[in-house]
Structures are given as structure tokens and as C-alpha cells.
Structure 1
């Protein structure tokens, strides 16, 4: 692909390993992505696009379980990867939210608030491809804007993007041929929106279907309605229609989610997701077709067989706020916003170990973590959030080796 309008970047090599910190220290809640301390608000103007499937039966809510004790960092078992930040790939960025790799190792990066798509090389060359039209960026404490991105299988000139418009959240398709951003074409519209809880992650499956994570748009009741697009993990065809084999005959794959911002497959093809809790527990979930993950009736583990318990939890939610998710070497790596760190969670089949904390407070809020083709991780920070001071609190892409 031809690069255009390259800008110089500052590249800083960070020397030495950064040790894991002890304890799960909570931190203050900065604007955006914090666990809400107020009741969910009604969904604003948009309504879901037409889907089918009967709503979930009404049940008496189960008693809210006691919080799962905070996970205590543990020594690394033999063979577990211990991450080290070895370089700053790019800096002077503004809320880099989505990240997808090209076959040659370059990355496509979305900036949430500017609505720009960037191409970033492993050596730190940043090329601005252009701005995606129709994006309503976050303002103040809002979390909307240009969110997740995914490259079309077998076609690196075509991008799928999740964005916030003036009336809804939506999935669009656009071209980046010849290094320029084309006009977006709507694939799926009518995903409910609000100030918070947009979801926004996109992930193509090996069969060509596209998984889409959505938030409850601060209307928690929608998460239990299987015909709503809110509070779900959706599975669609590239044209936006429901994928064949979905459990309810519509786009819903799983439901009962509050706000999912991380999706990743493990080496055996199992799908995993990170989910923001409210006050009791953040979650790492194994995503299984047709399952109900409990929100708002359950937060964290319940032991109620009507709902699927998470594989791992963080409690209280101020210790984590899990965003991006990467899985490599049988380990889930989770970016923590309020936790201001990277967590690693060893996976053994469908089971998960206690989370371990890395880089505590070293780089601020961690937004995304993605496995790179060379075996490293690329990790993005999220420290600007509308209060950007150039040269002081700009966001970065960090390279993490294991």
C-alpha cells in the first residue's frame, strides 16, 4: 500500500524489564470508562434495527452475590510469559482505540476522538490515512467515537469499523485503497447509544463471520432482551445480516452483557471477552453460543445455572476496568483502564488462573492489547480523553515482548 502524508514521530526505547507490582491498588475514576455509580439511564433516541427472536422469559432476579475477593498477584509459574515493554512504537496519538494488523506487520489504528485512521509500521512511521466521515466523537466524559476496526479477510484494502453517529452506534465498511479513507457504507445500524457503554470491538472468525460487541447503552434491561442489539455479542455476515447458525435466528450470539470492549480467540478457537462490571466485579468470560451472562441480574459469579459465570473476575471494579484483550501462549492479556496496568491471566482449556498485574502505573490507562505477527504485543494507552496537552499526556503505542 502506498503511504501518504507521513508525519515524524518520537520513538523512545524503554530499557529493562518492568517488574510486576504487588497488590491491586485502586485508583480514581478519570473521565470515561469508569464503573458508573449512578443508575442506568433510559436509552436515547435510537432503536434497534429489525431483528427476530423471542425475548427472554421474565424471572425473579437472583440475589446479587457477594463480591469475589480481589485477585492477589501470584508468582509466575514455570513457562508463563513475563511481559516487558521494550520500545515506544509511536507517540503523540489521541486515544488510539482499535488496532488490526496487516500481513506485513504494519498496524491499522483508529483514534476515537479525531475519527482518524492511521497506518503504523513496527519502526514507528505513522501515516494518516484520513478521517472517517459520520463519526460523532466523544465530548467531555463521553466514550463514543471511532472505536473498533477489523480488516476484511483476504482484502486488506477493506476495513470494517464500529462508530458512534449522531443517532446510533453502527458498523460500517470502507476502503483504504491507495492509502486514502473512502466513504463509509453502513453494514449494521440502530445499535443503541448513550454517553457510556458502547461496546465497540470487532473480530472476524475463521468462517468469515464477524463478531460485534455492544454495550447496554446505560439501559440495563436491554441486555436481557434477545431481540435488542444492546448488551450483546452479535455474530453477523459481512453484509450485516444474521450469520447462519446463530442460536435465536437473529444477530444475537450471547446476551446479558453490560459493556464488552475486548474479544479474542485462543489457540483452540474458543472465544473470550472482557466485560466492565458496575461496582462488584469486572469479568473475563469464555463466550459460548446462546449463553446468558446475567447482567443486570448478576454481576460476577452467582452459581445460578441460568447464567454463565465468568472465568476470572476483578473486585472491586476500580482495580481493573478491562478493555482490550489479546490471547497468546495460553495466556490472556487484558488492558486495564482504572487499574492502569496490564493483567495476564493463564488459561488452561476453559479455566483461568488468578490475574497477575504488570507495569502498575508506569504507562497510565491501558486501552488495547493486540498480538502482533512477530509474537510481541502492541499495547495502547488512553490518557488524553479530551484533556490532551501535546507533548505531556499524549497517547502511545508500546511494544511488549514476552
Structure 2
């Protein structure tokens, strides 16, 4: 199977791999640069002006004293719904920082890396009032929805039977430009699930708002792409290209350009490989530099929240190709979990210092708002 290829420790621009014919193998391109090439060992920020992309200003603290804020989704009007992984609470937070406890989501069983995770607001919310959540239940991970009228209505099943485990539960959900719901899942340390197209583990799923296999899916089921280890970030650019972050095992974390029906190689490949049956990542970092969870697209760049790396990564992208990654605010706020673009164009970033792996600071966990200029 795929042989892991050593990565260059420094490079200038990262070049995305070109796609072959539909159903064909993807031809590996030049080796991506690792995050180690971004600047001094101190993690100092490389000026984004050199890339022509937006750069973040100093953040303001929007909310504090939260319990592992995991998912953020915006309602019409600009308020956000925020999930807390460990408490199972759903919060409503205004752009001015007013926090309202909406209540606990029933049926959540927090533990390890599981709990109340992703949240998505229906594209037709003004009409249907539907909110979707991804969480760990007694027997599985699942996507449920409810009608939201300033409270949590009765839960309805959307996707159930997603494998659960102590770790690698995935959890990010988002509606794409096509109106379909995309669901990022993990392989819960059962690596064989990632290469099984009939399993919901280690995949990106694409479903209708009711949870059925979306029209045009490559295998006639809910699977959109496969061969993933643990995806926790999804973002689209203005050309409707989908990107995803992925945790590596011991060596290399990834950002991938997600394409219908493709196999992203886990567990046969970590990082870049030389097997044409698998898609190579757009870029990789070492796990110490990144452990990327949430992903946003704004101002011509992808923004990846780094957990173990404790920094906000900016990756300029153009035409599906990734530029040299830029590290911002290394170590200033601890572990970063989620990055999402707000309706006003700013970037909301959550910390994750109370998740059992961080060192909580006074005020943690918090939501920070970065203006983009």
C-alpha cells in the first residue's frame, strides 16, 4: 500500500495535487511544506501582507468562563449558538457578548473526546426554525435536529449509528453551498473503519437535511469521502471548494481539498504518500505545531485552530492551492478549538483549555473575536 514519504522541512509555495479523470487516481504533486517553514522557532507571526491575504488584528474577548466551547453556528441576525462539549449546554451569544443558557441537550453522554460537539443552523431557518447538533449518545455518535424557538424542542433523528469511542469522534457538521449537510466523523481508533465504504466511521458524510444519502453521492450511501482518521474542521471557499482539517497520528496533521468519492489514505498513509489510489494533502504540519480542529475560510485564507500547537494558523489559498502557512498568537491563549467566520466578516475563535489536556487560565474557556484587515 502507500509508502509514507518524507516531507520537506522548508518550501516556498505549496502546490495542490491535480485531479485526474472522474473515478481515476490522483497524481501526487510536489511535496507540501510543513508548518516548520513558517518562521522562527518562537512561532512569531510572519507578516501576512507578504502573501497579499488578510491579517488578523488584536482580538477582543467576547465571552469567558465557558466549558469547552466546541461548535459555533450563526442565526439570522448575527447571534450565535455555541455548544459546550462537557456540560452538554447550548448557549446563545450575541455579537456584544451577552450569553444566554438555552439548556442542556438531552441524551448526550460526555466522556473522553465525546460529548456535545458540532452545531449547524438550517439554511431555511427563517422558515423551519431547525438547528442540528452532533453528539455522543449512550450507544453511538449521532446527528439530531430540533425546532429552536428560544428553547430546545423535541429531538428528531437525522443520522445515527456513527461509531463512538473514547477518542476520534469527529463531530463537525456544516451545511454546504449545495444545501446538503456535511458530517465529519472519526474512526474511533478502529482504523479499519476508515477504509470501509459501508461504515460511517472515518468519513465525511453528505446527507439531505432529513439525513438521507444526498443525491449524487459516489457510492449510493451517505459517504462522500473516505480514508479519514479524525476530521474536525470543514470550510468552503468562494468557489465552493471544500477543505478539511485532519489529525495525524504521531507525525503529520493535514489540510485536505475534499473531492467527491476520493480516498484520503488512512491508515495506509499519514501525510504525503506515493500510492496513486490515495489523495495527498494540500499541506501538513507536525502534530506539535498544529493538531488542527476547527477551520474557517475568510479573507482569501483558511484559518485553522491549533490545539496542541496553541496557535491560529493562516493558510492563504488560491484556486485550490495552498500558500505558505502563517502562525499567529502562538501560545498566547492556549489550546484553540474552533474558528468560524461571523456574519460581519470577523473571525470567532474558541479556546479549549478545560478539555482535560490543557492548562486552564483565569477566564477560560473563552471566545475571542479577531477582526480581519
TM-score (norm 1): 0.81
Following superposition, the deviation at residue 389 of structure 1 comes to 9.8
Q: Distance in 2 between matches of 1:298 and 1:386?
A: 29
Q: Distance in 1 between matches of 2:147 and 2:272?
A: 43
Moved over 3 A (4+): 386-391
**1:337 paired residue among 307, 310, 317:** 307
Match of 1:131 in 2: 104
Tell whether the 8 Å contact from 1:92 to 1:391 is kept in structure 2 after alignment.
no
Which structure 2 residue ranges, 5 or more long, are not aligned? 10-33, 39-45
Partner-residue secondary structure (3-state), 1:319: coil
Change (3 A) 1:295 1:68: farther
Following superposition, the deviation at residue 67 of structure 1 comes to 4.4
Q: Distance in 2 between matches of 1:121 and 1:188?
A: 29
The total of aligned residue pairs comes to 337
Match of 1:97 in 2: 70
Change (3 A) 1:328 1:390: closer
Tell whether the 8 Å contact from 1:340 to 1:364 is kept in structure 2 after alignment.
yes
Residue 264 (structure 2) pairs with residue 264 (structure 1):
no
Q: Distance in 2 between matches of 1:324 and 1:387?
A: 17
Tell whether the 8 Å contact from 1:91 to 1:397 is kept in structure 2 after alignment.
yes
Match of 1:348 in 2: 318
Q: Distance in 2 between matches of 1:301 and 1:386?
A: 31
Residue 208 (structure 2) pairs with residue 208 (structure 1):
no
Q: Deviation per CA, 1:345-398, whole angstroms, max 9, x where unpaired?
A: 010111101211000110000000000111100000000115899983520000
Tell whether the 8 Å contact from 2:81 to 2:91 is kept in structure 1 after alignment.
yes
Q: Deviation per CA, 1:150-191, whole angstroms, max 9, x where unpaired?
A: 0011115311100000110000011221x1112222111110
Tell whether the 8 Å contact from 1:197 to 1:218 is kept in structure 2 after alignment.
yes
Match of 2:291 in 1: 321
Which structure 1 residue ranges, 5 or more long, are not aligned? 1-60
Residue 142 (structure 2) pairs with residue 170 (structure 1):
yes
Match of 2:121 in 1: 151
Q: Distance in 2 between matches of 1:394 and 1:281?
A: 28
Match of 1:82 in 2: 55
Partner-residue secondary structure (3-state), 1:110: strand
CA RMSD of aligned residues (A): 1.6
Q: Deviation per CA, 1:88-137, whole angstroms, max 9, x where unpaired?
A: 01111010000001121111100000111111001110011111000001
Alignment of 1:172-191 (within 5 A): 172-177=144-149, 179-191=150-162
TM-score (norm 2): 0.87
Match of 1:161 in 2: 133
Residue 207 (structure 2) pairs with residue 236 (structure 1):
yes
Change (3 A) 1:170 1:120: same
Following superposition, the deviation at residue 81 of structure 1 comes to 1.5
Residue 347 (structure 2) pairs with residue 377 (structure 1):
yes
**1:226 paired residue among 193, 197, 206:** 197
Following superposition, the deviation at residue 302 of structure 1 comes to 1.0
Q: Deviation per CA, 1:56-102, whole angstroms, max 9, x where unpaired?
A: xxxxx222222453322254325321212331011110100000011
